[in-house]
Amino acid sequence: MDGLHAENAVVGGIGEDAEERYRALAYDTALSTLVAVAVYVVVKVSLDGIRQWRARISVLIVGSGPVGLTAALVAVRSGKVLKLTVLDERYRTALLCRPQQIALDPRSVKFLLGLGVDFDNMEGCWHNDHFFTRIGVFQEYLLSILEQKKQKVDVKVQLGTKFTEEYLRRIPRNEWPRVIVVADGSCGESCSVLGISSDYTVESCHAYGANATIERLDQRQVPTPEIRAHSLYFDLSAYGVEAPREHRNVTAKPGFHLKIYGTFRNRYMALACPASDTKMVRFLRHTANSSIMKNIFHQSFNVYKTDIEPRLNDVTLHHMQCSRRLFEIQLSHRRISAAYIEGDNVAVTVEGEAARVLNFDTGCGVNLGMQGLESMGTFIYRTATAVDQNDILEALSAKMQHSRQVAETFKLTDLAHSMYE
């Protein structure tokens, strides 16, 4: 019996030793695995960080208008662009001598300040947190900034060069841009060259409007603040229409809203009212008498113009061109505002009037294009650091979603900000 107990004790000791060794082995294995995983994660994160830090791409921007040049500045500021090329079929003289005035709203001003734009060094004027300048002055200023960036980024501005299939064929395959930004305006043909659909979604802004332009060569070409007038009613009794004064409702922002803007030489007017079915609105929408709208703009200008500019008279009235009648204000935005050229691994985004067009000029149209550029920096960063095609498609999807949101927000609120307030 004693021998049997001794034998069992020996066997038990051996089993405990084996179990202890097994636990130690399992612990060592788990620890080694954990260390290996930690090392892998640290190495991968480090390599991904280095790859993202070193990632640089080539960007091509078609169009050197205010939106195209701002997009170029966004690309440079992203820190992910190795080579930047800006194309425009217009030559420098035609590009910078455009007389139109642009009005940058507070949102656009804040965006441009973040890009390093110094408005104190740009010809223009401030009024109610808006900055007013000539379009050529704004473009020339942005071109000068891009010139200063050549030490950090390979910047090429090719004016007098049209974006065509022949232009693309001349680019060696290994030098193709990774991102193409189309900003060549509503009449541009770049999207068709790239095979992007030209279909637009047209949506009502629930308002009616009319525009007028006056060119007076004896006046100065200097920026001026805009003039706004609200709750206007017109005496059309000579045409059998009475002003509906009894239906005025302050909360509904009644009547018409007038804006006078532009330089003294190139004066512009915009007249708008919320969509309604009043007798006056119906009459001005369907009248065949083209002189009625001209008389409305004529009288409105003389009442609300600045004190230092001359009145319009019967002699100068023929210099004014205007809409024949009220029309429905509509926003058109491109159904496809971003695309991926798979064979060439190129991401394309459409900006400015090439993507969104309002058929009613308020002098603030450039702001709509600026809003579309607010996601451009993130888009370029995500494209430059993309690991595979899925990453690029996700970046394109986010860019397209932002473009749709810009159109939707403008349709709902921006006409109120630019005209009614």
Q: Rounded distance, CA 74 to CA 61, Å?
A: 11
The 10s digit of each residue's pLDDT in 172-182 is: 888 889 999 99
Confidence of residue 252 (pLDDT cuts 50, 70, 90): very low
Q: Rounded distance, CA 217 to CA 266, Å?
A: 8
The 10s digit of each residue's pLDDT in 48-79 is: 454 444 569 999 999 999 999 999 999 999 99
For the residues 180-187, what does the mean pLDDT come to? 94
Overall fold of domain 57-110+135-199+335-358+365-412? FAD/NAD(P)-binding domain (3.50.50)
The 10s digit of each residue's pLDDT in 263-311 is: 999 999 999 999 988 889 999 999 989 899 999 999 999 999 999 988 8
In order, the DSSP letters of 102-129 are EEE-HHHHHHHHHTT--GGGSS-EEETT
Q: Rounded distance, CA 222 to CA 262, Å?
A: 8
Q: Sort 24 into a burial class: Cβ within 10 Å, 0-12 / 13-18 / 19+.
A: exposed
Closest to 132 (Cα-Cα) out of 104, 159, 97: 104
Q: Where are the domains of the chain?
A: 1-54, 57-110+135-199+335-358+365-412, 203-329
Q: Within 13 A of 414's CA, how many CA atoms are on the CB side?
A: 27
Q: Rounded distance, CA 100 to CA 265, Å?
A: 10
State yes or no: pLDDT of 17 exceeds 80.
Answer: no
Report the C-alpha dihedral over residues 183, 175, 153, 391, rounded to 10 degrees. 70
pLDDT value, residue 401: 96
CA distances from 338 to 9, 68, 80, 183 (A): 79, 16, 19, 12
Task: Quickly count: other Cβ atoms within 10 Å of residue 75's Cβ.
Answer: 28
